[in-house]
Amino acid sequence: MVGRTAELAVLSETVLALSAVVSVEGEAGVGKSRLVAELLRGPAVRGRRVLVGRCHPIRESFPLGPFVEAVGGIGDGLSGSRLSSVAGALRPLLPELAPWLPPMPVSLDDAVAQRHRVFRGLAEVLGAVSPAVLVLEDLHWMDEQTGDFLTYLLDGVPAGLAVVLTYRGEEAGAALRALTARPPTGTALAHVPLTALDATRTGSLAAAILGLDRVSDEFARYLWERTSGLPFAVEEVLALVRERGLVVRRGDRWARRALDQLEVPRGIRDSTLARVARLSEVAQRLVEVVSVVRTPVTQPVLAAMTGLTDSVEALVEAVDRGVLAEAGGGFGFRHALAAQAVYEHLNPARRMALHGRAAEVLEAVTPTPLGQVAHHLRHAHRPAEWASAAERAAAQAAALGDEDEAVRLLAAVLQNAELPPERRAALAVALGWAALDTLHAREVTEPLRAAIDLDVPAALRGELRFLLAVILGQSGEDPAAQRRLFLAALPDLPHRPDLRAWAMVGLGVTVPPEVSVAEALRWLTDAVALTDGIDDRLLAVFVLGKAGAILMENGDNAWRAIAGRVEELTGGAPRQRREANAYYSLGVAACYTGHLPTAETMLDAAMRADAAQQNRRLAVMIRAGLALTRYCTGRWDGLAAAVEEILADAADYATTRMDLEVVASGLALARGDLDRAAATSRRVTEFAVEIGAYEVVPAAAATWARAALARGDLAGALTGVRTLLAVLDAKGVWAPACWAVPAAVDVLVAGGEQVAARRLADRTADALHGLDAPLAGAVLAYTRGVLDGRPEELATAAAEFERVSAGHEAGRAHEAAAVAWLGAGDERGVTSLRAAVAVYERLGASWDAGRAAALARAHGVSLPARHRSGRRGYGAELSPRERQVAELAVDGRTNREIAEALFVSPNTVGKHMAAVMRKLNARSRTELVRLLVDDPGKDGAFLP
């Protein structure tokens, strides 16, 4: 290949790897597609299936267009493949593959989870037809969902698949460039930047096109100056020169006029237009239509658009003269630059008329390409029809899980079309629903605000206010504005019990300081009462979960009946996103209020939900809730590392990070990292107060006060206690306060504030009376023991904490009883101290254990010898976790799918896989299958 030998060698060598990713970058016309075509003709691809998909400048309303184009015709290649049930999710997207796909799985209510399921299915299909080369052209035009799937695919390229990407560097965003920056272990990577040819290589290309050994240096430089060294421009110019007779074949050589007589135009635009001008008038009209359509179009459609009776002859002429070419099942320009040149040369009135005609013809095509219809109506300056087409295209995109495209289509209409107020408001409502739970939520607030100010019917206005309030909540903006919008929406929504209940939950959850707890609970009670009239079962479950959680945090045992309804409506096994979210809400609230068995039950069920396996954000939330539960119940083995891992995944989720940092700060205190414990817990406490997450304040403030006191910072400890007391005064979250009252009493006593400590104990006893608070008995016994000097009450507190599974709190109570008894010379202190040490050592609370050991030495108490062997080393054998990872890998799972199954990150799976491959001396996953399935003796403990 002229001028690209080195680049072709890199591509050929890379695609020979077991799995590979190659990106080819260059400006328009530089030869990216030609280089890839040369690769596909070469020996490196021989014997492999070739799949080609292209992105187009006009987006269609169905998602993943280039992938659909690439795999749509591979049906026979799936014969005999053992596809999992998840591949059935591709049926709406790829109906042509239906005979080879499993049945459609039950639809999920979560668009993100549904999209992830499609991603898994598509990746599985690509793996099933490998070895293959997947070529994706012109990715600078890709839609967001194509980019998302490409990110997913490249995170675990199936064995036998080579992915070749082309794009224009000057039009590529950061997301596209980042795709190939860090491929997973075992994937070969190459990046091939193409630059324009220099004068010498331009001459070589010209010679190859003309069939000569060489051209003169003078002609090469002349050509290079007029084409900027772009290969496509060189071809166009030489084609034009030959058509004009400026160079002619004489025997075995070409003769040309003198250079100063050639009059060759510069660049692609002028040469393209000159070539089009040499066509017949009929062929020119047909080429103009193709320039407007911008995507490959079939001959019958072209005939309908042009109205020409001799369209076949015109098409043959355009193809024979090299202006058009067959592509993608139809006909189009050989290069986008040529189409652009013709399009921009059209008279504006002619251009508008052609767009209108294109829209009318495409409307009759089955299936209708709604995205193209909307595009043409927009450029035909027909706003009402554009709005209608865009709305239909958005609905189609949303139905296929491409909310990003739905948002783009609707936002474009609202930003650019002149529409009547009511029509504009209706489109804004559609935009709001499309944007929920997407990354675009923050981007649509302005169109919604603008629509609210229009003179429209109350029902539309109410729905707009509701949607804007929900979106503000999702983007973490302006809680006061959320509340105002929910309140304003309610009078306008008498016909929508579903939206009214959702808004009431918002009013019960988003509680500013000036709103009483009683008012918030009234809203929640009203919301629950409306659920019987909600036809949408999933929304009813969602509302009940939120309401039950808030009631639980306020010690109202009505939460039990609500949780029972949630379990009844879901059969005790959540599957969809809103179901899993309800279980998550109840589970985390149960943890903060001391209902620890309930917390474990709810969160475990949420984690098993299909939606949790598909939706990354939901999975991270639930994993954080499970970490919080492990912390509260004293199951700390490996917890610190797990929390750091989840924190990395929760970088963008502030409320989830808050729960995790409660755990991280508590663990830091237990191991003696006092500075981190104090700083983190103080930050969490203040953030929780700021956003109104009052149920979190007690646990965080307790760590802040204990850590500050341990550092000798009594003032800081008292500040933490006063922050807690201010929240209790304002919001009365006494059930969650049980985690903090013992620490607050200890700090107040240490600060000499005995009266304040007793006042807090008395208030706690009064407030907890009649509340559903499992920790109440233990907490009240603890305060009596400390303030009345009664160690037997502290021992009772320890027993009560153990009964409700609050392990670390039990250890502290045991230690407090030991201090009191040993100080009085009572031998019962020995038993309590040994119990405390046992708890601390089991937890790995090294700082607590050291403090207890010092107490033992001071009183001459012998302690059992500590077990110091540490975690077992497995040497050359696979550890239990490595065996789990290996089993799933042998089953054909990608690193991402293994991570989802084991609730860890793909990076952690990668480390385990590297250890498995190293220990078993396996060079590929294929070899791993042979070693562990065909020859299980390689690791005797691997298979039964």
Please state which of the four CATH numbers 1.25.40.10, 2.40.50.110, 3.40.50.300, 3.80.30.20 is assigned to the domain occupying 5-193.
Answer: 3.40.50.300
Mean pLDDT computed over 711-726 = 96
Separation CA 697–CA 665 (nearest Å): 13
pLDDT value of residue 287: 96
Q: What is the DSSP letter of 297?
A: B
Helical packing angle, 348-363 and 370-379, nearest 10°? 150
pLDDT score of 937: 46
What does the pLDDT read at residue 541? 96
Indicate if the pLDDT at residue 109 is higher than 70. Answer: no
Average pLDDT over residues 933-942: 44
Domains 5-193 and 880-939 share a fold: no
**Could you report the per-residue pLDDT of 740-752, keeping only the tens digit for each?**
999 999 999 999 9
With CA atoms as reference, report the closest residue to 732 among 766, 709, 756. 766
Which residue ranges make up each domain of the chain? 5-193, 199-270, 880-939
Report the chain's mean pLDDT, rounded to a whole number: 87
Q: What is the percent of the chain with per-residue pLDDT over 90, rounded to a whole number?
A: 54
pLDDT at 870: 43
Residue 940 pLDDT > 50:
no
What confidence category does residue 903 fall into, taking pLDDT thresholds of 50, 70 and 90?
low
Is the pLDDT confidence value at 134 over 80? yes
E strand or H helix that includes residue 333: strand 330-333
Of 205, 269, 237, nearest in space to 35 by CA: 205
Enter the pTM of the model.
Answer: 0.67
Dump the DSSP string for 701-751: HHHHHHHHHHTT-HHHHHHHHHHHHHHHHHH--HHHHTTTHHHHHHHHHHT
pLDDT of residue 904 exceeding 70, the answer is no
Q: Please write the tens of the pLDDT for every residue from 665-686.
A: 999 999 999 999 999 999 999 9
Which helix (H) or strand (E) segment is 927 a member of? Answer: helix 925-929
Rounded mean pLDDT of 366-383? 93
CB 313 within 8 A of CB 323: no
Position 742, amino acid: P
Mean pLDDT of 439-466: 88
Q: What's the CA angle centered on 152, arms 151 and 156, to 5 degrees?
A: 110
- Sign of the Cα pseudo-torsion (766, 769, 773, 775, in order): positive
- pLDDT over 90 at 184, yes or no: no
For residues 706-718, one letter each, b for 16 or more C-beta atoms within 10 angstroms of the residue's C-beta and e for the rest, the string is bbbbbeebeebbb
pLDDT tens column, 481-508: 889 999 999 999 999 999 999 999 989 8
Report the pLDDT averaged over residues 906-925: 74
Q: What is the mean predicted confidence (pLDDT) over 607-636?
A: 90
User: Is the per-residue pLDDT at 936 higher than 50?
Assistant: no
Confidence tier at 127 by pLDDT (50, 70, 90): very high
Enter the tokens of residue 407.
């948002």
Q: Cα-atom radius of gyration of the chain, to the nearest Å?
A: 35
Res 133: pLDDT = 95
- Among 403, 384, 414, 293, CA closest to 342: 293
Domain 880-939 adopts which CATH fold?
Arc Repressor Mutant, subunit A (1.10.10)
The model's pLDDT over 158-167, given as tens digits with 9 standing for 90+, comes to: 989 999 999 9
At 842-861, the pLDDT tens digits run 999 989 998 999 999 999 99
Report the DSSP beta bridge partners of residue 83: none
SS (H, E, C) 29-89: CCCHHHHHHHHHHCHHHCCCEEEEEECCCCCCCCCCHHHHHHHCCCHHHHCCCCCCHHHHH
Pairing of strands 161-167, 20-25: parallel
**Residue 116: pLDDT band with limits 50, 70, 90:** confident
Q: What is the pLDDT of residues 212-266, one digit of tens each?
A: 888 888 888 878 877 778 888 888 878 877 776 666 555 555 555 554 555 555 5
Task: Give which of 582, 590, 591, 589 is closest to 611, Cα–Cα.
Answer: 582
| Predicted pLDDT of residue 261 | 52
For residue 437, is pLDDT > 80? no
Summarised one tens digit per residue, pLDDT across range 548-600 is 999 999 999 999 999 999 999 999 999 988 999 999 999 999 999 999 999 99
How many residues make up the chain in this entry?
944
Q: Which two tokens stand for residue 679?
A: 């700083």
